[in-house]
Amino acid sequence: MKQIALLLIALAALSVSSQQMNPSCHECAATYIPREEIDAYLGRAPGRVVNSVSDQQVRAVDIGKGHVAIGVVYRNGLQAEGSAVAEHDLVSEVYYILKGTGTLVTGPEIVGWQPRPATNENVRLLNGPGGNGAGIRNGQAHQLRPGDVIVIPAGVGHWFTKVDGELRYLMVRIDPDKVTPLKDEAASKADLARPAIK
């Protein structure tokens, strides 16, 4: 009986090992972004502020079953007053704080939520469909400082209620439904070649 059990275990192991594992991204290339490119985007950020925020996509790449985008965000302290809660239906975000401090409130209960129009630039180019609101009910406040990381799943409202001076962070956007466009190195260089808005 023991020999039969061992034989069955060996056959099961052979069956599992003989199954072919296929990567989700067939013959994809890695994407390298040098520090100088990130610094170039950060350097021009204050000149590209709209509503006291500059959100610039550096790259957006296809990883097989989804897209991943890398961006840099600059916020100044003026944005807290009258700023809106943001929510993205399909795209999750990860922030890595580079410089500055601020208070970010997160939560799913968005007060006065209104959908963004499909023509909105952020919807088309950065984070897909979603909406804005006036506040977050029962939210959780996060005191962010350099070196901190926060993960914001799709559908979770996020709202900077305070920025001390200025805040700069690296943004990673996870887009499993591929609702946002790709941006390669050539498009990034072309973007950086355009003069900064003053």
**Separation of alpha carbons 71 and 73, rounded Å:** 7
| Full-model pTM | 0.84
Tell me: the pLDDT tens digits for 76-89?
877 555 578 999 99
Torsion angle, CA of 33/36/38/44, rounded to 10 degrees? Answer: -150
The number of CA neighbours under 13 Å toward the Cβ of 158 is 22
Tell me: the pLDDT tens digits for 43-58?
887 766 666 678 899 9
State the pLDDT at residue 24: 82
Give CATH for domain 23-193: 2.60.120.10
Tell me: the pLDDT tens digits for 113-137?
999 999 998 899 999 999 999 999 9
